[in-house]
Structure 1
Amino acid sequence: MMQLKDILYKVNLNAVTGGTSVAVNEMHFDSRKVSLNDVFVAIRGTVVDGHDYIDQATAGGAIAIVCEKLPEVIVNGITYVEVDDTQSALAIMAANFYGNPSGDLKLVGVTGTNGKTTVSTLLYQLFKKAGYKVGLMSTVKILVDEQEYKATHTTPDSLTVNRYMRMMAAAGVEFCFMEVSSHGIHQKRTEGLIFAGGVFTNLSHDHLDYHHSFAEYRDVKKLFFDHLPKSAFALTNVDDKNGLVMLQNTRAKKCAYALKNYADYKAQILENQFDGLLLKIDESEVWSRLIGSFNAYNLLAIYGAARELGLDKIEVLRYISELESVSGRFQYFVSSSKITAIVDYAHTPDALKNVLETINSIRTKNEELITVVGCGGDRDKTKRPKMANIASALSTKVIFTSDNPRTEDPVAIIEDMEKGVSAENYKKTMSITDRKQAIKTACQLADNKDIILIAGKGHETYQEVNGVRSDFDDYKIVKEILNQLNK
């Protein structure tokens, strides 16, 4: 058991009521989990305020309370620690509680609107191929070397992050690759972590339901690079107009990658087909099974990060040629009737545009491109008409449908999308609220050699309606329907 004073190391304290030389059993920010001799950290969340549950934590046996404002009733025998920001305090305390495990790993954070999962997962694959023990913290899953755990958030809470990293360090993991979301940065979940490097992929329209403006969203991403130590590297995509912004105030070693502009790591697309990409990276040709220009950027980011982490150029290029696509990211198959079905997580305007432009750059234009797309409920509404406009402009047919409606009316979400369709494209579109029926209709409309894109959910194996999650896997469903139709 650790003492409270050791857990509070490096936390900015305003006042302490009671002693800090007390033994602590566990740490929690959920009052329902508190038991005897635990510390409760009161977090002000977007929905609930942990300060309202201090009494519940006290009743549960808390030995200490960390808060921004003292409760009206002070209980004898309990230590109260006042701080300006309990989210920041939780992150630093969590790192201390688990023995600062990120310092025992080479931790690399990947941030940006699109590509975080692909880049972090492929880096995990590459370093595994190179013979290292590796950790992964992604939207899809958490991997402690080869042991898999289910992920619930893009960037988990500070306690979860540090707990898994302690498990990684104990298992002999040398490198960990972690998705870093804007929510995670804003909520201080990455504070207290020691990063060996950071990678910026790109920045486009997303999460404006949470961040009040695009400028705020960009600046939150930039904070991650501002806080990197001098010993780390900061690798950015300089073809993105916000790429250099990320490096403005960083103390880390600045390096860049690009397809179009001057950069430390350069690539050129020589061939772009449905069976893969032929790239020239730093004057060496390499074949990859991944598809599309957006994946050329992802592969170049992986190459740059691996080189910055000390791997040999030829070795890295060889492993890149062996990498496999990530679940739900341009995942495709061709049916017996030669219909190509593609499932992709594209759930932002920019990601959808990238996927559709990639398909259009490869197809011969003699085939139909039928897109099935929806938008999530209780999320950024401003992107709905934009996504519909992009889908209808770049497809030959579009079916608007449900994604994860959550607590919103799916019909109302689709109506928001339809507002973005221009008059000349309206005849291409139809709306089917039931997602499975929408996918089935796309399959029925498709003919020999046509292409179906099912966008928005990608790797997700559920659909959330009114708080209830039911099994739903786009890839399994479209494969099953096409096999049944067997045109």
Structure 2
Amino acid sequence: MIELKDILYKVTLNAVVGSTSLAIKAIEFDSRNVNSENVFVAVRGSAVDGHEYIDKAIDSGAIAIICEEMPQNLQEGVTYVEVDSSSKAMAIMASNFYNVPSENLKLIGVTGTNGKTTVASLLYQLFKKAGYKVGLLSTVKILVDDNEYKATHTTPDSLTINKYLVEMNKAGVEFCFMEVSSHGIHQNRTEGLHFEGGIFTNLSHDHLDYHKSFAEYRDVKKRFFDQLSSKAFALVNTDDKNGLVMLQNTSARKFTYAIKGYADYKAQILENQFSGLLLKLNDSEVWSRLIGNFNAYNVLAIYATAELLGLEKVEILRIISELQSVTGRFQYLVSDEKITAIVDYAHTPDALKNVLRTINSIRTKNEELITVFGCGGDRDKTKRPKMGHIASALSTKVVLTSDNPRSEVPETIIEEIEKGVEPQNFKKVLSITDRKQAIKTACQMANPNDIILIAGKGHETYQEIKGERFDFDDFKIVQEFLKQLQK
């Protein structure tokens, strides 16, 4: 069994009361999960302060407490360790407790506003097809080679990350691709991990309810690259002006990719259709089943990453041509009536604009483009009118509806989206609060060859209303309604 002093290796300590020569069975930050011979980490969250549960944790068997502020009454026989940041300490301790599992595989972090899930998932597919044992930590799911687990956060807590990395070590996984969210970086969930490389996709308006300003949001993303070692690589999209910002202070080897500007890895879009993309990657042509300009960037990112990780160029190109789109990311079907329905996770202004522009660049303009979307409750409110403006300007018809309203009133969210609709577009827009009814209405409005975009929830199979989750799958629902129209 590992001792407390061993799992505190590399943790900056402010004060210690008691012995660190204690055998520890587990690390916990939820007092409800504490058992005998556990160390309890008192983490300050946005809603709950773990310091309030220190006594409860001790009553449940905790023999050591990690905290940012020493309790007034110290109990005998318990070791107290004061640190500057409990979340940072926990991440380093978790890595030590599980014997630094990230060192036993090549861990690649993918960060940015849009494209994280697609890039990480496509890299998993690519390396799997190349014959490797591969891991994936993503918004959609967690994969330990062939074993699938449900994902609850874009970036899980540091204990969970290391537990899965241990499972990957046991399974012989050689490469792991991981989404790294701004929340995850800010909350120190990636501390103590050894990354072989980092990828930056882009940066646009999102999570400003959490980060307060775009500059803070950008700087949190940058922190991930600042922490990469000189042995790692940093691959950034320089068509986004923030790409070079990510490279400013990193010790990692620097690489760039772009479609518009000069870069180490360049792509040119030769054909862009609903059936896929014909791309020129540096000096080689490749056909991809993925659709749209934004996916050209994603394909370029995975091509560059695979080459940086040592795969042969010919093999990379062959596998890219076989890759399938990710669930809920420009996932589409065509009904017998020739109505195209597209389900996409686009829940930021930039992502919605990208998807709509992609559709408009492919369609003939003789058909309608009907967009169904809403905005999530208890999240960044400033993006709501922006998304209303984008959808109404770039669609022929818009149905505003609920997303995950959470604790907010759906009608209020819709009213805030409507504020961004310009007068000339008022007639294009109608509001139907019930999302299922909104999708049904869009299907009834559509004629042969029309296109329906259902944006915002993508891969999610639930709708969150007043603290409850109800089964809800955009793709299954639109599929069902389009079948009914065929009868």
1:320-469 matches, within 5 Å, as 320-469=320-469
Tell me if 1:259 matches 2:241: no
What residue in structure 1 maps to residue 268 of structure 2?
A: 268
**Within the alignment, does 1:221 sit opposite 2:186 as a pair?**
no
User: Can you list the C-alpha shifts for 1:222-272, whole angstroms capped at 9, x where unaligned?
Assistant: 000000000000000000011100000000000000001111111100000
Residue in 1 that maps onto 2:42? 42
| Gapped regions of structure 1 (runs ≥ 5) | none
- List gaps (5 residues or longer) in structure 2: none
Distance in 1 (CA, whole Å) between partners of 2:212 and 2:391 is 26
Q: Please tell me whether residue 278 in structure 1 is matched to residue 273 in structure 2.
A: no
Q: Which residue of 1 aligns with 2:10?
A: 10
Which 4+ residue blocks in structure 1 deviate beyond 4 angstroms? none
The reply to whether residue 112 of structure 1 matches residue 115 of structure 2 is no
**Aligned partners of 1:341, 1:291: CA distance in 2, in Å?**
14
- CA shift for structure 1 position 484: 0.5
Q: How does 1:23-422 map to 2 (within 5 A)?
A: 23-422=23-422
- In structure 1, what residue type is equivalent to 2:400? F
Q: CA deviation at 1:70?
A: 1.0
Q: How many angstroms apart in 2 are the aligned matches of 1:390 and 1:415?
A: 15
Normalised by the length of structure 1, the TM-score is 1.00
Query: What RMSD in Å do the two structures reach over aligned CA positions?
Result: 0.5
Could you tell me how far apart the structure 1 residues matched to 2:257 and 2:225 are?
16
Q: Please state whether the residue corresponding to 1:210 is helix, strand or coil.
A: helix
Shift of 1:170: 1.1
Counterparts of 2:131 and 2:281 in 1: how far apart (Å)?
23
Residues of 1 paired with 2:478 and 2:232: CA distance?
Answer: 44
Q: Percent identity?
A: 75
Q: Aligned to 2:209, what secondary structure does the other structure show?
A: coil
Instruction: Give the CA deviation at 1:282.
Output: 1.3
Give, as a single letter, the amino acid of the residue that structure 2 aligns with 1:442: A
Hey, what's the Cα distance between the residues in 1 that align with 2:151 and 2:464?
A: 16
SS of equivalent residue, structure 1 residue 372: strand
1:481 aligns with 2:481: yes
**For 1:182 and 1:84, how far apart are their aligned partners in 2?**
20
1:304 Cα shift? Answer: 0.6
CA deviations on 1:71-129 (whole Å, 9 max, x unpaired) are: 12111111000111111100000000000000001000000000000000000000001
Report how far residue 339 of structure 1 moved: 0.2
SS in 1 for 2:155: coil
Report deviation, 1:158.
0.3
Residues 331-377 of structure 1: CA distance to partner in whole angstroms, max 9, x if unpaired?
Answer: 00000000000000000000000000000000000000000010000
Instruction: Provide the TM-score with structure 2 as the length reference.
Output: 1.00
Q: Secondary structure at the match of 1:24?
A: coil
Taking the aligned partners of 1:192 and 1:29, their CA distance within structure 2 comes to 17
Matched residue SS, 2:290 = coil
Counterpart AA for 2:93: M
Is the partner of 1:364 in helix, strand or coil? coil
Amino acid at match of 1:213: S
CA distance in 2, matches of 1:305, 1:169: 22
How many residues are matched? 487
- C-alpha displacement at 1:450, in angstroms? 0.3
Deviation at 1:13, TM superposition (A): 0.4
The alpha-carbon deviation at position 295 of structure 1 amounts to 0.1
Cα distance between partner residues in 2 of 1:84 and 1:243: 31
- Distance apart, 1:172 and its partner CA: 0.3
Secondary structure, counterpart of 1:63 in structure 2: strand
DSSP-derived class of the 1:436 partner = helix
By how many angstroms is 1:212 displaced? 1.0
CA distance in 2: counterparts of 1:315 and 1:263, whole angstroms: 22
1:32-71 deviation line (CA, Å, top 9, x unaligned): 1001010000000000100000011011010100001111
